[in-house]
Chains A and B, each alone.
Chain A
Amino acid sequence: MEIKELERLSTQVRRDIIRMVSAVKSGHPGGSMGCADFLSTLYFRVLDIDPSNFTMDGKNEDLFFLSNGHISPVLYSILSRRGYFPTEELNTFRKIDSRLQGHPSVSKNLPGVRVASGSLGQGMSVAIGAAITKKLNGDDKIVYSLHGDGELQEGQIWEAAMFAAGKGIDNLICTIDYNHKQIDGDIDDVLPMGSLKEKWQAFGWEVLEMDGHDFNDIIAKLDLAKSKCGNGKPVIIIMKTVMGEGVDFMSGTHEWHGKSPSDEQTEIALSQLEETLGDY
């Protein structure tokens, strides 16, 4: 998919996010909107996947794991628009009997989701396991994962970081959503983490930096990341993003981490996001 189309897609995905969260007045719009450009590019240009024939095993396909499961709205929008399930199902988000749980779940067999996430810090370990299985199976496809920056405060992440580098898991590309925000405020106020780049380098990873809102850069860095696979080191992309990107009053603040806009605010937000591909 070309950049012009990716831009239109990402705008629609942001509309989906606002509408999903607003419809149930709950959910996590901020981080979701910040990752819309990245996930659009990943799912519509990079991943080698077969949405019409989803299998849990995903053999000979690229795999993606969302570790920061609270940004489920962006994942659900992308999955449905990529063809994993009908876009109408986005209407059921967070409602009783829905496959679209507040945080991603496999309990109701939603195509596109292979493990539950929500309790933070677990997805990198799972991605490593899936990457080892690919190697054991002689499957040369790649495993991708996405993590929040606040999520890096979980100790398990660093267990996984040490393992992946120490054991040369080199079919793995992890991305950090580096928006500097978490529920309680700025990361530097909650728990300063110092230089992420130096930390990951010190752990022995191939570290790339990327602008998560510049499609040229996203495409170039994902290509570069892929070219680094197979060299004995796992790859991490530190992706600079803006929480709430796309709507002026939501952007750059942690206030919209886990809060729905009111009906009035929803109207204003949607007026800033053109309906490019048709609402669900």
Chain B
Amino acid sequence: MEELVVMDHKDTRSGFGDGLTELGRTNKDVVALCADLTGSLKMGDFKKENPDRFVQVGIAEANMIGIAAGLTIGGKIPFTGTFANFSTGRVYDQIRQSVAYSKKNVKICASHAGLTLGEDGATHQILEDIGLMKMLPNMTVISPCDYNQTKAATIAIAEHEGPVYLRFGRPKVPNFTPADEKFEIGKAQMIREGKHVTIIATGHLVWKAIEASTVLLEKGINPEIINIHTIKPLDEKAVIESISKTKCVVTAEEHMRHGGLGDSIAQLLAEKLPTPMEMVAVNDTFGESGKPDELMTKYGIDTPDIIAAVERVLQRI
């Protein structure tokens, strides 16, 4: 990516909704299910255009996951939509047995992930979902960074055979990846090449890493930024290549330290390339009510936290 241009500010959930609408027009096997959050998930257009292929299940997420598993028998491609908390923690056993272990072609689409859903507070701010989903055999875990990428990912996972967890969020954030960029599952995205440190980010933290890079460059630190939109399977080759060059790494995510992207990178590096590493993530605590920006700051996953982590890791080389 040569030059980053912020086209507009959009929510990633709208990327999902618009991707789903497009799928409704192009892939007649796609069926959407929702547990009483059609508006929040931006599934209204799909519902309007495809009433026969939209299943409103009501507030019954366990049933939704089971129905989705059953829909695959006969060739449908179900996309379930609810908040990330209700898409994972609430229905873990249903996903484990009826979807992952049973190798069903279900796409679990999860909005309002992380702290940035804001004022609803900790009951809804799941920070463990990536960990829960990546531990499941057969599961692909995707966490795109902006509207365009979320839309492209939504379209791409329909073509991928097997269970997928797609994570996105509520707030409007900079939309900077090209609208026509094809989404390649499992492929790391180089955001900017650098040499002093590798910043590996996912989801909303990719833009925070870009913000951090402008400050770091002023300080004479030239960071390489990699967007890991597919947390599982991890593009190990891209990660190892970058870190072999920079010799140190910072990970950044809107997720718990335990079980998140940083955890995956740490595991990879411990086995294949032990390297000084710092993690920007929520540290073993629940969130709370507040504005998204306030929460990012309070829980240590904002731009200054990335800058500080880079400065710390550079001292460890």
Please give the residue numbers on chain A whose beta carbons come within 8 Å of chain B beta carbons, in ascending order.
Answer: 56-59, 63, 65, 105-107, 114-119, 121-134, 136-137, 139, 155-156, 159-160, 162-163, 166-167
Contacts and interface: CB of A to CB of B under 8 A. Distances in A.
Q: A116, A126, A137: which has the most chain B beta carbons within 10 Å? A: A126
Contacts of B76: 133, 136
Contacts of A139: 74
Chain B, interface size category, equals 20 to 34
6 contacts: A59-B74, A65-B70, A115-B98, A125-B65, A156-B94, A163-B58
A139 B74 CA distance: 9
A155 B64 CA distance: 13
A166 B101 CA distance: 29
B63 A58 contact: no
A122 B73 contact: no
Contact of B70 (A116, A119, A126, A159): A126
B74 A134 contact: yes
Contact of B94 (A59, A122, A132, A133): A122
Interface string B57-73: 11010111111111111
B228 interface: no
Nearest to B104: A115
Interface in B3-57: 31, 52-53, 55, 57
Contact of B60 (A121, A134, A162): A162
B69 A115 contact: yes
Nearest to B35: A159
Contacts, number: 119
Given A106-B103, A133-B76, A115 B63 contact: no
B93 interface: yes
B62 A57 contact: no
Q: B67, B94, B96, B102: which has the most chain A beta carbons within 10 Å? A: B67
B287 interface: no
Contacts of A63: 73
A11 B58 CA distance: 44
Interface string B64-92: 11111111111110100000000000000
Contacts of B93: 119, 122
Nearest to A156: B62
Contacts of A122: 62, 66, 93-94, 97-98
Contact of A156 (B53, B55, B66, B102): B66
A156 B74 contact: no
Contact of A119 (B67, B97, B103): B97
A131 B98 CA distance: 16
Q: B52, B71, B73: which has the most chain A beta carbons within 10 Å? A: B73
B63 A133 contact: no
A156 B67 CA distance: 11
B71 A130 contact: yes
Given A106-B102, A156-B94, A163-B67, A125 B62 contact: yes
Contact of A133 (B60, B66, B74, B96): B74
A64 to B, nearest CB: 12
A138 B68 CA distance: 18
Q: B58, B70, B71, B72: which has the most chain A beta carbons within 10 Å? A: B70
A59 B78 CA distance: 17
B73 A156 contact: no
Contacts of B73: 56-58, 63, 114-115, 126, 129-130, 133
Given A107-B101, A119-B93, A163-B60, A125 B74 contact: no
Given A156-B66, A160-B63, A163-B60, A132 B71 contact: yes
B98 A125 contact: yes
A154 to B, nearest CB: 9
A137 B28 CA distance: 11
Contacts of B67: 125-126, 128-129, 132, 160, 163
B101 A156 contact: no
B50 to A, nearest CB: 11
Given A125-B63, A163-B60, A163-B63, A133 B102 contact: no
A-B pairs, 7 with minimum CB distance: A129-B70, A125-B66, A133-B74, A159-B63, A159-B60, A129-B67, A126-B70
Q: A114, A125, A129, A162: which has the most chain B beta carbons within 10 Å? A: A129
Nearest to B137: A107
Nearest to B28: A136
Nearest to A104: B102
Contact of B75 (A124, A127, A137): A137
A126 B98 contact: yes
A130 B58 contact: no
